[in-house]
Chains A and B, each alone.
Chain A
Amino acid sequence: MDLEIAWTVATKDLSIIRKKKSIFYAVIILPLIMSIGLPAIVWVVEQRGTIPDAILIGLLNAFSFFFVIMASLSSIGISSYSIVGEKVEKSLEPLLATPATDGEILFGKGLAAFIPTIVATYVSVTIFMILTDILTYAQLGYSYYPNLTIALVLFLVTPLAIILSNELNVLVSARVNDVRTASQLGAIMGIPFFVIYILAEIGLISLDIATFLAISAILLAADIALFYLSRTTFRREQILTRWK
């Protein structure tokens, strides 16, 4: 794999995405809202009276998980545009006529969706952690963030979720012809995460280190399986003769 070629594809996609304001802002606005909105909820909860430390910690861990959902959904907008956008502009054929391999093109497109999403997520989580620490220090007596749980969320669960989201989107992109439909179908990606959140809320699971490790293992397995499936889908002949 020639990483320089993959990077060329990624930077080209990033240049286009920067010009597509709706996609660009979608990647920035949702994380920004969460980085301020979630600490605001903590503030409201604390204003209503002291809550037990265990419940507060459970709430904060649940909030950490929101960033996984956010990241997986944010990347869909970019990855949908990255592939379906090329289909709409009919620019895939000249791209496929270059010496780049299918894997290099696919990897470049994955990077284009991954980089802005992960950067936006890390920036918003940093703001969230600072604000939350300020708000909860008085009650907990220590800075809750950073901790191992959020580190797991940021450096393991979130990247794996974004990768899965991108791979799923390659499969979706092969079947649809407009970016909006691809984004809507890609949003299916959020369902398993919402289910996990609901299971945590009704007390069937707890969002602790063990759970996040288990989620990571499942995501990794799904990433590997979908990698092979998306590689099969993203082939020159498939794209030119079978993609709708």
Chain B
Amino acid sequence: MIDAENLTKKFDNLTAVDNLTLHVKEGEVFGLLGPNGAGKTTTIRMLCCLISKTGGEARIDDYEIGNVADQQKIRSIIGLLPENVGLYDALSAYKNLDFYGRMYKVKEEQRKERIEHFLKMLGLWERRDASVGTFSKGMKQKLAIARTLIHDPKVLFLDEPTANLDPEASRTVRDFILDLKKEKRTIFLNTHNLDEAERICDRVGILKTRLVAVDKPEKLRESLWGIKTEIQLDAVNDAIVAAVKRLGPWKIEIAGNKLIIGVSEPEKENPDIVDAIGKAGGRIHFVTQVSPTLEDVYLKLVRS
């Protein structure tokens, strides 16, 4: 659905996005992570035909980004939620959605149905005639997401959808995105929130002007960090460490009374490790699987 090959954007001497290659399948939720200034918003703007690309190629559906004849078609099949929601505070929630429905040429009957559907779904129907200026940030964000859906787009671009929201509002927005995911919409999400990316996204890419890594969140964690088994003991001694070392060429860390062992197949290896420690006189309190968070992976990649 979204294909980019060596997509590049330069502003004078500054390269904002450098040779970005990525492919997002239909119905996939793809998260783009990266620090401020990494080029996430620029990427979305290029893919939404808001700014031109300097190099490379990109397509959405069957339309080519950069081809003047395709620009309007691309904009008609995508929905964009920018970082700043940009609603009209002086207009009511209903009129905001109605305006965008008209801009996308949604027929009146359909427009009314969709506005009612989304406003009811988001719990805003009772406030439909109230000025958006009186809404909380969370309500505005929900309304802005409804705006991006008013023309039933094939692809959604969400730029930091939960930024600056309180935890409750973030959760409401996140749940709404998860509902959209169930509808098998293609969603391209920019976020700083790694927990959000992990919960929502099928795959994530880490962007630092260039795409540093891209995979499923769990695969990224495994490939960059490995799997670790943590064993809490009464006490760690040389005999225990030697017993574990004899089982395989694993990396072993000792942290107080804990042994942290880098394993490859925990289901097979953990019982042997537990057995060996027991035979070496160790008393085990707990055995736990240690998984790095996506944040750990992100920080490792971004800092490197």
Contacts and interface: CB of A to CB of B under 8 A. Distances in A.
A178 B76 CA distance: 31
Interface residues of A, number: 26
Contacts of A16: 88, 90-91
Interface in A1-22: 4-5, 8-9, 12, 15-16, 19-20
A240 to B, nearest CB: 6
Contact of B91 (A4, A12, A93, A236): A12
B176 to A, nearest CB: 17
A9 B104 CA distance: 12
Contacts of A9: 103
Interface residues of B, number: 35
A52 interface: no
A100 interface: yes
Interface in B233-274: none
B78 interface: yes
Given A8-B103, A93-B82, A99-B72, A240 B45 contact: yes
A4 B22 CA distance: 37
Nearest to A86: B86
A91 B132 CA distance: 13
A99 B76 contact: yes
Given A8-B103, A15-B95, A236 B87 contact: no
A98 B104 contact: yes
A149 interface: no
The interface residues of chain B, by DSSP majority, are classed as mixed
A90 interface: yes
Given A16-B90, A19-B90, A240-B45, A96 B102 contact: no
Nearest to B78: A97
A12 B50 contact: no
B100 interface: yes
B75 interface: yes
B104 A92 contact: no
Given A15-B91, A93-B50, A240-B50, A98 B86 contact: no
A241 B49 CA distance: 13
B42 to A, nearest CB: 9
Interface string A72-114: 0000000000000000011111111111110000000000000
Nearest to A17: B90
B32 interface: no
B220 to A, nearest CB: 30
29 contacts: A4-B105, A5-B103, A5-B105, A9-B103, A12-B88, A12-B91, A12-B99, A16-B91, A89-B87, A89-B88, A90-B84, A91-B86, A91-B88, A92-B86, A93-B50, A93-B84, A94-B80, A96-B50, A97-B50, A97-B78, A97-B80, A97-B82, A98-B100, A98-B104, A99-B103, A99-B104, A99-B105, A236-B49, A240-B50
